[in-house]
Structure 1
């Protein structure tokens, strides 16, 4: 195992990354909420459902989002109450649930995608050079590969 203590420079870089991630996430969330009334969680679920070629079972949605069962259950209940989606029993497995996006949910998701894309363009794409953007993509993919389950050290 490598030395587990961060150098001062590494600590500063990590701290800057954490502040940037928190601020960017907060800004994106506020824009979504103010312009569409959707939370990031709403948007994430609606996007996954719309991008799926067929209706998703709750288990597949939970695994795809990497959420805990209780978190997804509570979020789906709130979204169903707001008319964004419907849940029905799975014919193949009466313990399972199939999730469907409503017309209202689909319309809001389309609005949210526009808001989200514009915000990402404004706060990230327009600020970074093409080279920086490419490096950001490479860094993200490298870290995602490292975080894949199960990971062998």
Structure 2
């Protein structure tokens, strides 16, 4: 296990600034998505993930891995999305059904994605700028790699 160390004042301020930025931006984008298109951030995540999958379908386990959602959360959310006609479950190769993006789900995504991308550009991309954007991407890649390494080595959440 990693040595337990407190954050310095500068590290704490940087961490809290990151959390505030992430939380504020995420909430703001989700509020627009909900108000303008009747979609939650979770709906959008599922729709995008399915739209990028082969034949716009995935096994439930693959979708869970891609979203990093717990099985029960995913199951409940898919039930709500299916009731709204955004996705459907179809028999798959294995024990569990495949999740398939419906025409209505694709239409909802095609309607909300451009305004969402414009807001991401306005509130994130343009604010950061080209030079800092590449630095941020590198930082994000490094942090994700560190988390994945932790998951495979000494993480209490394994198994």
After TM superposition, is the score higher than 0.5? yes
Q: Report the equivalent of 1:101.
A: 101
RMSD: 1.6
Match of 1:122 in 2: 122
- How many residue pairs get matched? 151
1:71 pairs with 47, 70, 73, which one?
Answer: 73
1:29-48 mapped onto 2 (5 Å cutoff): 29-48=30-49
Q: How far apart, in 2, do the equivalents of 1:60 and 1:3 lie?
A: 34
**Alignment partners' CA distance in 1, 2:153 and 2:135:** 24
In the alignment, structure 1 segments of 5+ residues that lack a partner are none
Work out whether residues 49 and 101 of structure 1, in 8 Å CA contact, stay in contact via their aligned partners in 2.
yes
Structure 1, residues 92-140: CA drift from partner, whole Å, max 9, x if none? 33x3111111111100011221122111101011112221111111111
Equivalent position of 2:60 in the other structure: 58
Determine if contact 1:31/1:119 at 8 Å carries over to the other structure: no
Normalising to structure 1: TM-score of the pair? 0.92
Runs of 4+ residues deviating >3 angstroms: none
TM normalised by structure 2 equals 0.88
Q: In 2, are the aligned partners of 1:49 and 1:100 still within 8 Å (CA)?
A: yes
Separation (CA, whole Å) in 2 of partners of 1:135 and 1:31: 28
Q: 1:85 matched to which residue of 2?
A: 87
Instruction: Name the CA distance, whole Å, in 2 between partners of 1:89 and 1:27.
Output: 37
- Once residues 23 and 50 of structure 1 are traced to their aligned partners in structure 2, the CA distance between those partners, rounded to angstroms, is 26
2:22 corresponds to 1:18? no
Relative contact order: is structure 1 or structure 2 higher (C-alpha 8 Å, sep ≥ 6)? Answer: 1
Unaligned runs of 5+ residues in structure 2 are none
